Structure 1
Amino acid sequence: MLNKFVVIDLETTGNLPKKGDRIIQFAAVVIENGKITEKFSSLLNPKKAIPPFIEELTGINDDMVKGAPLFSEIAEKVTSLLDGAYFVAHNVLFDLSFLQEELIEAGCEGFFGSVLDTVEMARILYPTADGYKLSDLAEQENLNHDRPHQADSDALVTAELFLLLLERLASLPQLTIRQITQLSGGLKSDLQQLLDELADTAGEMREQLPDSIEVYNDLALKKNSVEVGLESEEKEAFYPASDEDKIEMIKHGFQFFEKRSGQFQMMDAVYESFQTQRNTLIEAGTGVGKSLGYLLPIAYFSKLRNLPVIVSTHTIQLQEQILNKEIPLLAKILPFNINSVLLKGRNHYLSLEKFHQSLMEENDNYDTTLTKMQILVWLTETDTGDKDELNLSSGGLLYWNKIKDEPNVFLQNKGWQERDFYYRAKNKAHAADIIITNHSLLLSDLKGEGSILPAADFVVIDEGHHLEKVASQFFGYSLDYLSSRMLLGQFGLYEQKQLFYELEKLITSLPKQETKLIHAFELNQLMIDLTYEMDEFFKLIALYAKTKLSNKKGINRIKVRLSDSDSGKEKKALVHCAERFSFLLKDLHSAIIERLSLIKNGKKALSSKEDNKIEETYTFVNELGELRNTVNNCFIKETKDVKWIEMDIRAPQNITTFIAQPAFVAEQLKEKFFRAKKAVVLTSATLSVNNSFDYIMTELGLDAVSTRQITIPSPFHYKDQVQLFIPDDLPEIKSVTLEEYVIAITEHIITIAEATKGRMLILFTAYDMLKKTYELIKESGFLDEYVLIAQGITSGSRTRLTRNFQRYDKAILLGTSSFWEGVDIPGEDLSCLVIVRLPFSPPDEPLTEAKCQLIGTRGGNSFTEYSLPEAILRFKQGFGRLIRTEKDRGIMFVFDRRIVTTKYGKSFLQSIPEIPVKNGAIDELVEIIPTWL
């Protein structure tokens, strides 16, 4: 057995060893018998200049390596360290490829031993980690990592992480280890060899499973922990009506509590709303303490009335923050126990039965193999079976679609039913006082497709400004080529050995009987025709979009509205094709249903594998029916929905999305949602426009007379914390071309960045402008020493991009859409906010265009009634990114001159707290920055 591991880390001049990039620092840490026995590191002379970005990243400059040895001078030491050892690294293929090049150039043999990758191991053994960068994992495991991107520090932290990973591996049930060993042949590293050696060491030792683990049907699972209510001596609960009562109560939970009068005002407003059964809108500024502001009163209300309360949010992050941070704080304060649960849609939960079945399937790709291993480990630690706990790759998410929970047709094995994560969550929700969910699930009962949430007459909607948009999507339809193609691919042609093949095998195994089933050959031909018609259908959608495209230079991502009044030949061809596609979908649906009925009524006892395939086929048939329903609603039935096509004109012409949504959902929300509840509290930091709630109430169908409207200002002293600068030497946005405007703002961004030393968030309203600005900054070379992070260009989610931005001192983050809100970067990490354009929706954006037309038809002013208030709310959300705590200071730039040159511009300024505003040339404005920050 190999008992020696050498953990390697390198710093290099770039990413491409074959194109001349070289090592500038080498570090190795030797582990033998579970202990670190040797460390070695050296700076190296790369015989070329170190790029500015690498210098900023590593802190290593040309002077530091001038007198350092060449790699050839330490090559012998490196080969002796690696002799008879596993080569271990964080992203091992990167370090190995560099080292091989250098070793061969130095006249040594390359390394051809076993390799282990701590990224791969961490993905498997820490399936719920937020990220797999070394710094992320070091933070998670409380490892001291004070000099990231320096090889000696990185190698030591990787070695410490590797030892922890070995510990985690050894702690797993032997069944789980055996299962991941069987799968590990499909990995990129030699983990299988290590696992085999561990298994040999364990030998025939009888395993004693920990009390928290059970084995069911060859799966090691964390036992369902039955939550027993604590028998505390609960005093009779009375809502703390006075400030003194609230302070006295909250002091029990917080050693240092500072009274926030706005938070107390919100508590009373929420409690009164539920007591008097009256809808309430509460705009609560940043820093009010909104979550506790509604959680405390609803906890009392639920306790005193013995009624459940639903809390709905737009984002998963806020749901999890409420459950994992705010509720535990609340529990410390309350004189009684409160039962809270987070409930998500069914497809968020794992089906144990489907996963168990999928483990028997072979020929997996790398992502599927890795995800199976992640889930095997995760099952030993999860209470919820909720996908959002996992950190899955994009390939892992595709695999999840095969194993997610779905309504089952046949009665499941009773043991699986008892352990079903979705039913467990649903049962907990029905026994809970506070049910936390999202806006989509909150609205799901409105379609009348069976209740998911428990009945509740009292609701708090946080992030309430999103409710209207979520409702539009919820009441609408969406159709895209890739999803449709993948759906048909699940059934496949007979020779592709997918569900079709499995179904026919079952049919032929049944006792012979008289049937009117169409022959397998005909069904195969139907699938060929359907796939062809689907391709044609999406090609025609793309063709229609291109014929209606206005010639906008440089715009690649487009939205084109499909007008009901259009009677052109392209529209007619598209509708005829939709009819043929729908007809074939119906034929396939009928043919499969007939086959399933035959199997269901047959006398043959089905194996669990056959049972599983039948359930999979029923799920496919349901989705097929939904696809046909969507095609009919979008193209064949006459509806009042706004319909449009979204596509990237550079992509293949059948890679398109078609969307249909109602322009206004106020009436549906009023009749189906608000009237069905006794009291709803909507809250957000951005609900009012010019100190009025009229806009949001109109959008949501709320009545101004019966709805209470409350504004609770932020406790921050904005006048002392932020200044607004408006440069007067930029062109009017509509007076120049996109390219000219990008050149002008790029020059200003460079000037500002040099004054603020980065720490900038730049908000755009369109991706194309963001991309052109990013490219021009890069091309200029003026900000080479800064880390540029751009949404849609730099890979990663919003959370990951934000975390990377906070990691570097000289960082600039360019964002659009989702970055206007929900990004929380407190302290000095963010000192400057730039708003490039006032955030009006483009007038030709389909939903905007339709809303404006409808407002105009009824004699209204679409600009003042819709476009302006929508832009003001977005502007307020953008402003809210800058000051997150009472100690933050910052500068805000608005590049759009319309904020001072138009009558409506002052509406934007009046929508944010009163702050100093300065107009002037950019050179004058940046001189103020150093003294202010």
Structure 2
Amino acid sequence: LFPNDFIIFDEAHTVEQVASRQIGLTISQYGLRSTIQRLYNARTRKGLFTVARDAQGVTLAASVADELERFFDAVGERAEFRKGRELRVRQADFVPDTISGRLVALQARILEAVKNSEDEFLKAELQEMGRRVRDARAGIVTFLEQAAERHVYWIERTGKTAQFLSLNAAPIDIAPVLRQMIFREGCSCVMTSATLAVGQRDLSYFRRRIGAMAAEPLQLGSPFDFESQMKLFVVQKMPDPRDAAYHAALAKWVAHFVEETEGRAFVLFTSYRGMQQLAEEMQPFFAKARMNLFVQGQGAPRGKLLEQFKTSERSVLFGTDSFWMGVDVPGDALSNVIITRLPFAVPDHPLIEAKLELIQERGGDAFSEYSLPEAILKFRQGVGRLIRTRSDKGIVVVLDNRIVTKPYGRAFLNALPKCPVKVI
């Protein structure tokens, strides 16, 4: 920000996650290939170099495109993805750098084409492609050398069928970066969200994570009367998820509570596989009860799925991560939010894993300083799907007995607005 500028962040609880990815680097195999093919595509025999009548550029771009594929093939052969789409890279020189020198040559050829062109539009597009090639080269070198300190590095499989790869790096602790960028003398910043607090009125957890300890916190009350608008049910009888009786109990209690509200329910999951499994098991129940079941990931995009839920009577929607936040269903269409498990993140993403390691390196407790507060924030987001206006009414159901059987469970309850609670 320039002096005397100001910026306002809405939904500020996402700032740390978004900033970590945006301030870091991502080199996409698909994106870089598209850039090179914009210069010259050997299949269509078209591109900016053909428009510029640059034969050397055509030959070079075709060659670099092939070498790029060989480079990422080498990355793919070396990478051993045990589960998921991400693989953390802990050491430099993961594969030999066979591509950055060729990208330098391609960038030089683009500059030559710009000098020789009299078409301003062509020059502008060539310059943009040159910038992309330059940035990609710098990113590849940084990734292979692990040159950025206090960063975590990982390879990610991308695309619908995970057919492409990307090289990624992100700062482990984003607080010093944001403190320097936006929380400094002469700049004003307002960050707002309904879920910044995890129990402390001074918002210390959020402020510490984003480098805003010198900022002034302000926690305002809600316009909603939760004591009359919302009731919380906690099913203490739920077995442990590792127990053989867990899935039957989960189906039983989901069925019980969706019948209580005649559908009109979100059922929120922390596991995509667990959601799909329960949806398949409960299909006969929903058909018999004449309820419409919508399941995330079964064809319809998120927006269409939500619209179908809103406009269909006796509807139940099973959703995972993206339905815990940013979804607005005011009115009678949603009267029941069922949370199947407390939303503790599994530390299987390299960035989360690195954050936990950093806390431990500093002598802290990763669970109480990161895992628990993050789970509370997401829990509050999930609960927040229910009451969207002053006339909304409904129930929240928690099918995870840890909220009443574990010492940390009290922190989840304390983070919610005061409302009637019934333990079953």
TM-score in terms of structure 1 length: 0.43
> One-letter code of the match for 1:852?
L
2:105 aligned partner: 587
**Does 1:764 pair with 2:298?**
no
- Alpha-carbon contact 1:724-1:916 (below 8 Å) kept: yes
User: Of 311, 317, 322, which residue of structure 2 is paired with 1:807?
Assistant: 311
Give deviations 1:747-783, integer Å, cap 9, x for gaps.
4323332332211112222333333333333366646
Give deviations 1:52-79, integer Å, cap 9, x for gaps.
xxxxxxxxxxxxxxxxxxxxxxxxxxxx
2:82 aligned partner: 549
**Does 1:774 pair with 2:279?**
yes
**Does 1:875 pair with 2:379?**
yes
Q: For 2:70 and 2:269, how far apart are their aligned partners in 1?
A: 36
CA distance 1:741–1:647, change in 2 (3 Å): farther
The CA deviation at 1:897 is 2.0
1:853 aligned partner: 357
The CA deviation at 1:673 is 1.4
**Does 1:786 pair with 2:335?**
no
Give deviations 1:888-914, integer Å, cap 9, x for gaps.
211111122221221101100110012
Give deviations 1:568-605, integer Å, cap 9, x for gaps.
xxxx5x431xx112121111111221232233xxxxxx
User: Of 633, 644, 647, which residue of structure 1 is paired with 2:154?
Assistant: 644
**Does 1:700 pair with 2:210?**
yes
- Alpha-carbon contact 2:182-2:189 (below 8 Å) kept: no
> One-letter code of the match for 1:914?
K
CA distance 1:673–1:648, change in 2 (3 Å): closer
> One-letter code of the match for 1:762?
V
CA distance 1:503–1:824, change in 2 (3 Å): same
Q: Secondary structure at the match of 1:850?
A: helix
CA distance 1:612–1:743, change in 2 (3 Å): farther
Query: Which is greater in Rg?
Result: 1
Superposition pairs of residues 733-744 of structure 1, within 5 angstroms: 733=241, 735-736=242-243, 741-742=246-247, 744=249
- Alpha-carbon contact 1:743-1:776 (below 8 Å) kept: no
> One-letter code of the match for 1:582?
S
**Does 1:657 pair with 2:162?**
no
1:536 aligned partner: 70
The CA deviation at 1:650 is 8.8
**Does 1:462 pair with 2:21?**
no
**Does 1:498 pair with 2:47?**
yes
> One-letter code of the match for 1:558?
R
**Does 1:710 pair with 2:218?**
yes
The CA deviation at 1:528 is 3.6
- Alpha-carbon contact 1:750-1:782 (below 8 Å) kept: no
The CA deviation at 1:842 is 0.8
1:75 aligned partner: none
Superposition pairs of residues 467-546 of structure 1, within 5 angstroms: 467-493=15-41, 496-504=45-53, 520=55, 523-545=57-79
CA distance 1:645–1:835, change in 2 (3 Å): farther
Give deviations 1:159-214, integer Å, cap 9, x for gaps.
xxxxxxxxxxxxxxxxxxxxxxxxxxxxxxxxxxxxxxxxxxxxxxxxxxxxxxxx
The CA deviation at 1:471 is 1.9
The CA deviation at 1:784 is 7.4
CA distance 1:647–1:595, change in 2 (3 Å): closer
The CA deviation at 1:795 is 1.8
Q: For 1:647 and 1:695, how far apart are their aligned partners in 2?
A: 32
> One-letter code of the match for 2:266?
L
Q: For 1:769 and 1:482, how far apart are their aligned partners in 2?
A: 31
1:751 aligned partner: 256
> One-letter code of the match for 1:613?
L
Q: For 1:795 and 1:871, how far apart are their aligned partners in 2?
A: 28
Give deviations 1:9-32, integer Å, cap 9, x for gaps.
xxxxxxxxxxxxxxxxxxxxxxxx
1:122 aligned partner: none
User: Of 128, 143, 146, which residue of structure 2 is paired with 1:619?
Assistant: 128
The CA deviation at 1:647 is 2.7
Q: For 1:487 and 1:783, how far apart are their aligned partners in 2?
A: 53
> One-letter code of the match for 1:917?
V
1:827 aligned partner: 331
User: Of 893, 907, 910, which residue of structure 1 is paired with 2:414?
Assistant: 910
> One-letter code of the match for 1:487?
T
- Alpha-carbon contact 1:835-1:895 (below 8 Å) kept: yes
Q: For 2:277 and 2:156, how far apart are their aligned partners in 1?
A: 21
CA distance 1:597–1:679, change in 2 (3 Å): closer
CA distance 1:736–1:587, change in 2 (3 Å): farther
2:229 aligned partner: 721
- Alpha-carbon contact 1:750-1:783 (below 8 Å) kept: no
- Alpha-carbon contact 1:575-1:636 (below 8 Å) kept: no
The CA deviation at 1:851 is 0.8
User: Of 628, 634, 640, which residue of structure 1 is paired with 2:143?
Assistant: 634
CA distance 1:636–1:533, change in 2 (3 Å): farther
Q: For 2:158 and 2:271, how far apart are their aligned partners in 1?
A: 14
The CA deviation at 1:875 is 0.9
RMSD (CA atoms)? 2.6
CA distance 1:462–1:592, change in 2 (3 Å): closer
CA distance 1:562–1:892, change in 2 (3 Å): same
CA distance 1:783–1:668, change in 2 (3 Å): farther
Q: For 2:263 and 2:293, how far apart are their aligned partners in 1?
A: 9
Q: For 1:543 and 1:812, how far apart are their aligned partners in 2?
A: 43
User: Of 396, 415, 419, which residue of structure 2 is paired with 1:892?
Assistant: 396
Q: Secondary structure at the match of 1:712?
A: coil
Q: For 2:294 and 2:255, how far apart are their aligned partners in 1?
A: 15
User: Of 75, 92, 95, which residue of structure 2 is paired with 1:575?
Assistant: 95
> One-letter code of the match for 2:16?
E
TM-score in terms of structure 2 length: 0.90
CA distance 1:753–1:480, change in 2 (3 Å): same
Structure 1 unpaired stretches of 5+: 1-444, 446-453, 508-519, 551-556, 566-571, 600-605, 921-933
> One-letter code of the match for 2:329?
I
Structure 2 unpaired stretches of 5+: none
**Does 1:681 pair with 2:197?**
no
- Alpha-carbon contact 2:6-2:187 (below 8 Å) kept: yes
Superposition pairs of residues 364-379 of structure 1, within 5 angstroms: none
> One-letter code of the match for 1:620?
M
Give deviations 1:793-818, integer Å, cap 9, x for gaps.
242243x3322211011111222223
CA distance 1:523–1:459, change in 2 (3 Å): closer
CA distance 1:676–1:537, change in 2 (3 Å): farther
> One-letter code of the match for 2:82?
L
Q: For 2:161 and 2:249, how far apart are their aligned partners in 1?
A: 30
- Alpha-carbon contact 1:645-1:657 (below 8 Å) kept: yes
Any runs of at least 4 consecutive aligned residues in structure 1 with deviations exceeding 6 A, and if so which? Answer: none
Give deviations 1:289-322, integer Å, cap 9, x for gaps.
xxxxxxxxxxxxxxxxxxxxxxxxxxxxxxxxxx
1:561 aligned partner: 88
- Alpha-carbon contact 1:482-1:655 (below 8 Å) kept: yes
- Alpha-carbon contact 2:234-2:423 (below 8 Å) kept: yes
Q: For 2:312 and 2:18, how far apart are their aligned partners in 1?
A: 35
CA distance 1:759–1:791, change in 2 (3 Å): same
* Matched pairs, number: 421
Higher relative contact order (CA 8 A, sep 6+): 2
Q: For 1:779 and 1:540, how far apart are their aligned partners in 2?
A: 48
Give deviations 1:120-139, integer Å, cap 9, x for gaps.
xxxxxxxxxxxxxxxxxxxx
CA distance 1:786–1:674, change in 2 (3 Å): same
